[in-house]
Amino acid sequence: MSNEFTASIEGRELSLAAGEVRQMTLPLDQGGRHRLVIADSASAGQVVEALESCPGVGVLPADGGLLGALTVADNFALALRYGSEFDDPLRDELDLAAALELCGLTAERVAMLGRVQPMNLDRIERWTLGFARWLLRPPELLVIDRLFGGLARRQANALIALEMIYHRRHPFRTVLFVDLDSHELPELPECRSLTRLAESQCHY
């Protein structure tokens, strides 16, 4: 039976606990990359769910998290409306174009993608579009959920390099990579902390 994972925010610090035992604390106002390595997929899913329940936490799954039944353009329109206190479509459009350009997407490619449903794109492109969404509307904590499974090392390193844009654009926003325990995990440059939840911590 799995421990019950809970997450909470007090002041400017997030805490993750398994049962009554605190497993990790993260500052939310210092920026930087952090990594949490978990023994099994079921526990990783529970941890991400607990983190996502906290206000101000956003999750970027390995498939980008866009709604498959909507076009890419509709996904971004929905995200922009949801995440903004102001109604300025022109500013939103300019910000979106800048974010997509930072992610390496040309104007021609963006125009084509706008009419496509995310389910018809490859995983790397779906993730890149999901990443651009959070680049526009950065949460207090961005959780990057199990990104590296099934990727070649070259692909993983390219996405790690892309993610560095987030830190340059939002230097005081924190990012947490949640990964499954594996000897094949790529290195995270400039990673400020590494927490491992051993199998014994994930199960009674």
* Residue among 167, 127, 175 nearest 151 (CA): 127
Contact residues for 30 (Cβ-Cβ < 8 A; gap 6+): 172, 174, 192
Domains contained in the chain, CATH given: 1-56+139-204 (3.40.50), 68-122+132-137 (no CATH)
Q: What is the mean pLDDT of residues 71-75?
A: 90
pLDDT tens sequence across 92-134: 778 888 888 889 888 888 888 889 999 999 999 999 999 999 9
pLDDT tens sequence across 180-201: 998 789 999 999 999 999 654 5
Whole-angstrom distance, CA of residue 52 vs CA of residue 142? 9
Instruction: Tell me: pLDDT of 174 over 50.
Output: yes
pLDDT range class, residue 179, cuts 50, 70, 90: very high
